[in-house]
Structure 1
Amino acid sequence: MINHSDLFIKPEIFKNIPQLVAGVSTRHGGKSPSPYQSLNLGVHTEDHPTNIQANLLLLCQNIGIDPAHLARSFQTHQDVIWECSEPNYAQGFDAIISTTPNIFSAVGIADCCPVLLVDQNQKITAAIHAGWKGSVLCIVAKTAQLLLSKYGCQAQDILAYIGPCISLTHFEVGDEVAAQFSSSCKQLFQDKWHVDLKKHQVIQLNELGITQIEISPWCTVEHNEHFFSHRKEQGITGRMLALAGFHA
């Protein structure tokens, strides 16, 4: 259940981890007018910058972090991973790994699939933006593999959250896009292909031995009253943030 007073969704899978802040914002509780109402956090939207900054401050106050401790990037639907050691606003990354306390990795979303990875033993988090292009490029698997191979994480210790995104029911794609997904992640509805982004991420994680996964039931199109949807709102809409990091 999401209330219109809820600025942030805290996944059940992360709720008992001390010092961790992780989850996904909603579109509620902000300052932005239509069509960005109301908690728009998308820097590259046409919303007024003062609204976006006010919204970011509101969210950060709500979840108890400093906006200056966020690590964000202009996303390009690729598979480039930022191994972040200091907070900043970067360019060209769709996955951000934080290995340092008080750095909160964050990705913007409005239909694409957000994935959060947390290893509470190593105090490492990752925030991943996986649209269909990033999914085909296996950005989730590549990020998780980096945690395993470089940072000493164990698959059984990694908790994953697959957040609100466009659902199989609403994600109609052309033949050329559908051809890039496995048969288990697509279905034909009235001769039109539909892709299941959430299932695609689950398969990638399972193949690496990561099985502790919470999958959000929310669809950004179907539940547009709670979330921004690029497709539903025809490209003129705001962005949520999916973020994760540990307090020092």
Structure 2
Amino acid sequence: MPTHSVDLKAPYRIPALFSRFSNLIVAESTRHGGVSPAPFASLNLGINTTDDAANVDENRRRFFEAIGASASQFASSHQVHGTDILYTTEPGRFEGYDALITDKPGLLIGVTVADCVPILIYDSKNQVVAAVHAGWRGTVGGIVAKTLARMQEQFGTRAKYCYAYIGTCIDEASFEVGSEVAEQFAPDFIRVDPYTQKTCANLKSANTRIFIDFGVPSAQIGISAFSTVLNNDDYFSYRAEGGKTGRMLAVVGIKG
């Protein structure tokens, strides 16, 4: 549990890693400040939930207004737990991508989550940003490595200019997995509880390793101190809430 003071009752948080970059809009939403009733209470930003669409629209309006942006400048995708990456220069709702990249000022990109890892990347030299949705399938499928490779190929991205934020997701102790999932992770990221014999996977560490292997300095990698399960009062958790819950957004963009 984090010991530093953070206002979790706010509708969003700005990762400290990015606070030095005044040219960025970057935020990770919480579940506070919206209009949705239980079990989506209250800032449900997920389009593909059974919450009333009017509630989600109002929640999104509030969120984007709070961060100094508009939903009309936002690009996202219906995520499929795959590893396909979209380079986009236009706002809109796309289909089948779990990572988005852009170098267009004034355009926000983002991913929705409720236990999976939201990952935001900034190439400070080439002025490129990426938003990645990494569940366990995306993590073992190497979606972060593929996103970095795409940025390197398309823009000449180099590790020393990269800043990466690994956002709020399910914590290791809460993410119990079966043997068929565990065997797809490197052993470093699997832990068996000696008392319960439960096997758990560490999504934050697995994705951190990818950035380290790419060469990103550890000082340029930020990791959320929070858990969607342990801090469920402040974040949505699909697992903790039995699948009936809202979604958060993690967004990044270069100011226009």
Identity rate, percent: 38
SS for the counterpart of 1:129 is strand
2:118 to 109, 114, 123: 114
Q: Unaligned regions of 5+ residues in structure 1, if any?
A: none
Indicate the larger mover: 166-175 or 139-148. Answer: 139-148
Partners of 1:244 and 1:108 lie apart in 2 by 12
- The yes-or-no answer on 1:228 pairing with 2:236 is yes
* 1:30-45 equivalences in 2 (<5 Å): 30-45=34-49
Cα offset, 1:154, TM superposition: 1.4
Partners of 1:145 and 1:22 lie apart in 2 by 22
Cα offset, 1:121, TM superposition: 2.3
- The yes-or-no answer on 1:97 pairing with 2:101 is yes
Cα offset, 1:86, TM superposition: 0.7
Partners of 2:90 and 2:224 lie apart in 1 by 29
Partners of 2:82 and 2:203 lie apart in 1 by 15
Partners of 1:4 and 1:150 lie apart in 2 by 37
The answer (yes or no) to whether the contact 1:35–1:236 under 8 Å persists in 2 is yes
2:204 to 191, 198, 203: 198
Partners of 1:44 and 1:105 lie apart in 2 by 17
The answer (yes or no) to whether the contact 1:41–1:52 under 8 Å persists in 2 is yes
Match of 1:57 in 2: 61
Match of 2:250 in 1: 242
1:219 to 213, 227, 241: 227
Cα offset, 1:4, TM superposition: 4.9
Partners of 2:27 and 2:180 lie apart in 1 by 33
Partners of 1:4 and 1:177 lie apart in 2 by 32
Match of 2:136 in 1: 132
The answer (yes or no) to whether the contact 1:28–1:226 under 8 Å persists in 2 is yes
Cα offset, 1:93, TM superposition: 0.5
Instruction: Give the AA of the match of 1:162.
Output: I
Q: Structure 1 residues 46 and 2 mapped into 2: Cα distance closer, same or farther (>3 Å)? A: farther
Cα offset, 1:5, TM superposition: 3.4
SS for the counterpart of 1:61 is helix
Partners of 1:116 and 1:161 lie apart in 2 by 5
Cα offset, 1:97, TM superposition: 0.5
Report how many residues are paired: 248
The answer (yes or no) to whether the contact 1:2–1:226 under 8 Å persists in 2 is no
Cα offset, 1:72, TM superposition: 0.7
Instruction: Give the AA of the match of 1:191.
Output: Q
Cα offset, 1:123, TM superposition: 1.6
TM-score by length of 1: 0.98
Partners of 1:84 and 1:136 lie apart in 2 by 25
Instruction: Give the AA of the match of 1:67.
Output: A
Partners of 1:149 and 1:121 lie apart in 2 by 15
CA RMSD of aligned residues (A): 0.9
* 1:63-102 equivalences in 2 (<5 Å): 63-102=67-106
Cα offset, 1:19, TM superposition: 1.9
The answer (yes or no) to whether the contact 1:4–1:29 under 8 Å persists in 2 is no
TM-score by length of 2: 0.95
Partners of 2:166 and 2:8 lie apart in 1 by 22
Instruction: Give the AA of the match of 1:93.
Output: Y
Partners of 2:142 and 2:245 lie apart in 1 by 27
SS for the counterpart of 1:108 is strand
Cα offset, 1:84, TM superposition: 0.8
SS for the counterpart of 1:53 is helix
